[in-house]
Structure 1
Amino acid sequence: MMKQTWDYPGNSSPFPRILSLLAPHGAFLALASVSAALFAVLDASVYVLMIPFVETLFSSAGGPGFASETGMDRLLDATVYRWVDLAGDPLEAIGQIIALIILVFLVKNVFHFSRTYLVARVEQEVNRSLRNQIYGHLVGLDLSFFGRTRLGQVVSRLTTEVEQFRRLVTTELFRVLSGGLEFSVAVIAMLLISWQLTAAAFVVVPLAMIFWGPLVGVLRRLDHKVLHLGGEVTAHVQETFAAIRLVKSSSSENRERERFRSLTGEYFQQFMRAEFVRSLAPPLTELLAAAGTVVILWLGARFVVAGEITGPEFVGFLGLSVKLYSPVKNVAKFPAVAQPGLVAAERIFDFLDTPREICDAFGASSIRGFESTITFEDVSFSYRADEVVLRGISLHADRGDVIALVGPSGAGKSTLVDLLGRFFDVDTGRIMVDGVDIRGLRIGDLRSLFGIVSQDTVLFHDTVRANIAYGRPEASHADIVAAATAAHAHDFITEMPKGYDTIVGERGVELSGGERQRIAIARALLMNRPILVLDEATSSLDTASERVIQEATSRLMVGRTVFVIAHRLSTILSADKILVMDGGEIIEQGDHGTLMAKAGLYRRLYDLQFNEAAAVGSLWPADET
């Protein structure tokens, strides 16, 4: 099945949804904003205090007097000069001003700490909440989504791209907010000194703000490609190491190295293209800031000579202009540095917007058990419109029946039982459980009727106990041991270093194939569901173990409806009904004796398997792998 490549229209802003994620943390953001505002005021105050410091210093050295009256003079008269007496001892006044500067620095950094801590709290809360939201949504999506989406892309969104998003939402956005507050305070202080100089300083601000406009779209496209390729690299790593046995047995190490080098090479090229554009931000914004500083120096010197402002006020103005240009540079660079986070947000929201195709119908009924019958009525299904997988399937199973599905690979056997569990919906026809269309039942209730042992045994990196009890976590130790004993797993489990508390490793790597299969069978037995699906359930077992497990499961099948999918016909000779499938259709059905008498496909498959078995001696016990 083709994997989705996730192309993006890029025509909608993610900011409203980003703000909705921040809304639950409004109290902490408000406190962080207050801290940022107070920090901005105190930070600007340090530069304002340089005015009386320089004024006192130059006055004590016999410098010229200062006759101009500005808004800053009035502000200082109302605050600093109430405590500092410039007409008295100059050294004492300078000492008092230095003490004020130190006090302002101390208080300023208290607010800097609180701002940083509160922002970190919000960013981790958003990070955790978003990961939980994505994971919760993905777990609820249908199998069809995972069929068309590479696992590496899923992992990339949950890890790398959530981190990119976190940096955007907290670090970058709050840097712009803090910069805006510092900018505003600096502008107010500069206006109190000279509105003309402030206007001159603003000449370069529009240039810095509009500089990145034409390049934002370029960066957005490039960052989309970078993040997509990052997901492809992750997917390739997972695919390769999940199939490392095949890679080594095929002597394909060099081929995989070359494929990986090709992917990382393409990622490198796209990354560097994006960084080339992004790296233009610092030098060009610095150049604009330098141009603004030149304008201020040229014009400010004339204002000082003309007596419109004082020398100390001009020194303070220059310091404040640095605080002006610093946030301007941050805002100017924001479109560049924010693009990875914005692209990550779009890709994350794309996953979150993926709808569940299979969900409970309005007014869906509850079902607490399986009472009587399962019926397929003229069911057809296709994964894609041009590929019909099942056509015209009709069958009837009573409670307690053992239904065997046989046929060549690709005949539709596994798809048929997937439809019964409503992992996919039928295209036409209907499937009935106890006379009710399964589309009218609650999905959770329907699936709670099934115990499944598949050919691809799934074990988690957890203890043997936890893996057996996965579908019934509240099960007692005695029940777990009973299920393991019935699956002939208890003996090898007790021989393990920690018995039932032994960690089996990722996908059960610490166990042999046969042991993994028996753990899975024990899990299904412990769940004690009324409908049991054995999909190639004994495919990983040697002949001797297969016979023992058949004996154990035959006792436990009593009272259950069982669907058995098997290529090894020896496992289903006693089935109540055998359905022979080919090309998505049921071409024969009946018990073993009836089908042998028909001399159709089933007879040919049976003769072929048993003739081959006799030729190679496969009836002898084989070593487990």
Structure 2
Amino acid sequence: MRRKILPYLWPYRYPFLFALAQVFLMSGCELLKPWPLKIVIDSVLGDSPSPWNLHELFSKQALLVAACAGLIVIYLVLGGITLLNNYTTIKIGQRMVNDLRRDLYSHLQRLSLAFHSRRQVGDLMYRVTADTYAIQSLTMNGVFPIATALALLIGMFAVMLKIDWQLTVLALSVCPVLFLSISLLSKRISLAATVARQQESEVYSVVQRGMSAMRIIQAFTKEEEEHRKFMAASNQSLDASLRLYTLQTFYSGIINVVMALGTAFVVWVGAQHVLSGSLTVGEIVIFTAYLASLYAPINTISQTWGLIQGAKVGVQRVFEILDVERDLAEGNLVFPASGARGDVWWENVSFQYVPDQPVLKNVSLHVPAGRKVAIVGPTGVGKSTLLSLLPRFYDPLEGRVTLDGTDIRDFQLKSLRTQIAMVLQPPLVFPITVRENIAYGRPEATLEEVVEAAKLARIHDSIARLPQGYDTLVGEQGATLSEGERQRITIARAILRDAPVLILDEPTSSVDAETEALIMEGLNRLTANRTTFIIAHRLSTVRNADLIIVLRSGEIVEQGTFEELVHGNGPFALLYRSQFSLEE
């Protein structure tokens, strides 16, 4: 854990050392706090000599004023240093949190879809937004309180030992009991903290799923059921949190009882020493003040240790994700500035999401550059999976995919994916302006280029009718747009990308027949001289394809042109006739 955290602390090592210096100054002020009171009791109210023989230089009245002024100065200096230390440590901690979030989010962006398909979105959100704060608790809220407490402990121990070594030994006799309590309860607190964070991340998951599916929930009147699911998760989180807080409170109570017993013994023995004349009243006052201050850092160490156990769980959850190896190894090659030609091969490719449940079985397919290929077949036969291998959303279990004769695993992911424009399902738009949505893949594109892409996608007229045209903000998940408008915006986005390879996954599934005809007209212009792959359930959209591939059970069972397949007696002809009769 230390090895993983230190790289996040190293950039702020100088502010960290500055904060440590402040800790020692604060400890010095804490050590000085009881001394003005001793001077008042022993040298002003009594006749004992004052430190540094000040009673010989000043009258009792002047000594009283000096002691009071010294007390004010000590508290002012201590307050100022404390404020500065709080600001310094909070700033370091927040920057470390920000750096850890940066690395975690960046790492999540680069993990494959296979990883994300296995994880709950809400849990990952909780790790990014909440668990990352644990590094601040573990370092700034853990290291500095303990460092302050240790500095105080050492200083007070030295002073108290000089005043009365017997009382000092008695005061410290409670330490073994305290540390035994720490060792016995810290593991239980750590386990309780783990469960509490897991349950809270489950609440995030339930909320995320509910918010993203609100239309379906309301359409099927499932509000009460979803509310019950939320309350069940929330109650489990509450129970886990209460168990954690109960343990921490019990832990704190034990510490306080042990320290109270220690204080009672020291006061009783100290009073005996005063009665016997071995200690003055001022010295016992200082000793008692130091005793409270002595137990305070011990209490701080014990309480902070409990906090560290909970924070350690959060940091471990973050590094659990950061330790996940990228299952898509980065290649070294890049495409030339002119881009790829677009010659694609699937060579004996097999793939499965779940062991022993193959989705693709030994598929081989060659698509020369510039060809338009349609992939058809029933739902779940591997159409989208086959094309997902091309931009390396996944890697094949067996075989390889090549682009322009080179295994795509040899290319840098960014270089590879810039060669491919995609229209995926479901159509996704972001809560930004229409222009920014279309230019998502080419943010440097001019307004004229965005408009031209929108015209090709047959969405320009709809955009022009919006309140601010291309500068209109789109609602969350495109709620202010129709399904067909969202789909055409994603098509315009792919058009503007202007990549040599184009993947269209059901590009006209959410539009009517008239709009489909207009879109296909624009797409025919777009796909000229580009290698294009179209996944379609509407077989009318594949009529102009150079090659049609029919998939069934993860295998290519038929291929040919539209005319060749529709006049045969194979699966495509049967599928076409059944769809045509349904449309009739």
TM-score interval (norm. to shorter): over 0.9
Q: Which of these residues, 18, 21, 40, is aligned with residue 31 of structure 1? A: 18
Aligned-partner SS, 1:169: helix
Aligned-partner SS, 1:139: helix
Q: CA deviation at 1:390?
A: 0.1
Aligned-partner SS, 2:266: helix
Q: Which of these residues, 154, 168, 171, is aligned with residue 141 of structure 2? A: 171
Residue 184 (structure 2) pairs with residue 214 (structure 1): yes
- For residues 198-597 of structure 1, what are the structure 2 equivalents within 5 Å? 198-361=168-331, 363-364=332-333, 366-368=335-337, 369-371=339-341, 373-597=343-567
Q: Residues 207 and 19 of structure 1: is their aligned pair in 2 closer, same or farther, counting only changes over 3 Å?
A: farther
Q: Deviations over 1:157-195 (max 9, x none)?
A: 011212343233222332222222222222222123122
TM (normalized to structure 1)?
0.90
Question: Is the Cα–Cα contact under 8 Å of residues 367 and 445 in structure 1 kept in the other structure?
Answer: no
Which stretch has the larger CA shift, 468-477 or 162-171?
A: 162-171
Structure 1 CA distance for aligned equivalents of residues 118 and 89 of structure 2: 38
User: What amino acid does structure 2 have at the position aligned with 1:494?
Assistant: A
Structure 1 CA distance for aligned equivalents of residues 148 and 12 of structure 2: 17
Q: Deviations over 1:233-277 (max 9, x none)?
A: 111111112111111222211211121121112212222222221
The corresponding residue for 2:4 is 17
Structure 1 CA distance for aligned equivalents of residues 73 and 394 of structure 2: 69
Question: Is the Cα–Cα contact under 8 Å of residues 413 and 581 in structure 1 kept in the other structure?
Answer: yes
Give the superposed CA RMSD: 1.6
Q: Which of these residues, 46, 51, 66, is aligned with residue 38 of structure 2? A: 51
Which stretch has the larger CA shift, 174-183 or 405-414?
A: 174-183
The corresponding residue for 1:149 is 119
Structure 2 CA distance for aligned equivalents of residues 310 and 219 of structure 1: 44
Aligned-partner SS, 1:451: strand
Question: Is the Cα–Cα contact under 8 Å of residues 367 and 442 in structure 1 kept in the other structure?
Answer: no
The corresponding residue for 1:6 is none
Aligned-partner SS, 2:395: coil
Structure 1 CA distance for aligned equivalents of residues 88 and 276 of structure 2: 48
Q: Deviations over 1:522-546 (max 9, x none)?
A: 1111110011000011111121111
Q: CA deviation at 1:87?
A: 7.2
Question: Is the Cα–Cα contact under 8 Å of residues 32 and 119 in structure 1 kept in the other structure?
Answer: yes
Q: Deviations over 1:500-529 (max 9, x none)?
A: 111102222211111111111111111100
**Aligned-residue identity in percent:** 33
The corresponding residue for 1:194 is 164
The corresponding residue for 1:136 is 106
Aligned-partner SS, 1:221: helix
User: What amino acid does structure 1 have at the position aligned with 2:319?
Assistant: F
Structure 2 CA distance for aligned equivalents of residues 456 and 330 of structure 1: 54
Structure 1 CA distance for aligned equivalents of residues 262 and 575 of structure 2: 86
Structure 2 CA distance for aligned equivalents of residues 447 and 201 of structure 1: 68
Question: Is the Cα–Cα contact under 8 Å of residues 209 and 328 in structure 1 kept in the other structure?
Answer: no
Q: CA deviation at 1:396?
A: 1.1
Q: Residues 22 and 200 of structure 1: is their aligned pair in 2 closer, same or farther, counting only changes over 3 Å?
A: same
Q: CA deviation at 1:88?
A: 5.0
Q: Residues 16 and 206 of structure 1: is their aligned pair in 2 closer, same or farther, counting only changes over 3 Å?
A: farther
Structure 2 CA distance for aligned equivalents of residues 164 and 319 of structure 1: 34
Q: CA deviation at 1:66?
A: 4.6
Q: Which of these residues, 149, 161, 164, is aligned with residue 131 of structure 2? A: 161
Structure 2 CA distance for aligned equivalents of residues 245 and 599 of structure 1: 42
Aligned-partner SS, 2:373: strand
Structure 1 CA distance for aligned equivalents of residues 575 and 383 of structure 2: 16
Aligned-partner SS, 1:251: coil
Q: Which of these residues, 92, 102, 117, is aligned with residue 87 of structure 2? A: 117
Q: Deviations over 1:73-123 (max 9, x none)?
A: 7xx32xxx4xx3267532221111111111111122221111111111111
Question: Is the Cα–Cα contact under 8 Å of residues 209 and 331 in structure 1 kept in the other structure?
Answer: no
Q: Residues 313 and 590 of structure 1: is their aligned pair in 2 closer, same or farther, counting only changes over 3 Å?
A: same
Q: CA deviation at 1:38?
A: 0.5
Q: CA deviation at 1:365?
A: 5.4
Structure 2 CA distance for aligned equivalents of residues 393 and 301 of structure 1: 91
Q: CA deviation at 1:477?
A: 1.2
Q: CA deviation at 1:498?
A: 1.2
Structure 1 CA distance for aligned equivalents of residues 36 and 215 of structure 2: 71
User: What amino acid does structure 2 have at the position aligned with 1:601?
Assistant: P
User: What amino acid does structure 2 have at the position aligned with 1:33?
Assistant: L
Q: CA deviation at 1:370?
A: 2.0
Aligned-partner SS, 1:420: coil
Structure 1 CA distance for aligned equivalents of residues 215 and 87 of structure 2: 48
Question: Is the Cα–Cα contact under 8 Å of residues 596 and 603 in structure 1 kept in the other structure?
Answer: yes
Structure 2 CA distance for aligned equivalents of residues 170 and 456 of structure 1: 44
Aligned-partner SS, 2:45: helix
Question: Is the Cα–Cα contact under 8 Å of residues 137 and 307 in structure 2 kept in the other structure?
Answer: no
Structure 2 CA distance for aligned equivalents of residues 344 and 55 of structure 1: 52
Q: Residues 577 and 44 of structure 1: is their aligned pair in 2 closer, same or farther, counting only changes over 3 Å?
A: same
Question: Is the Cα–Cα contact under 8 Å of residues 407 and 581 in structure 1 kept in the other structure?
Answer: yes
Aligned-partner SS, 2:210: helix
The corresponding residue for 1:9 is none
TM (normalized to structure 2)?
0.97
Aligned-partner SS, 2:224: helix
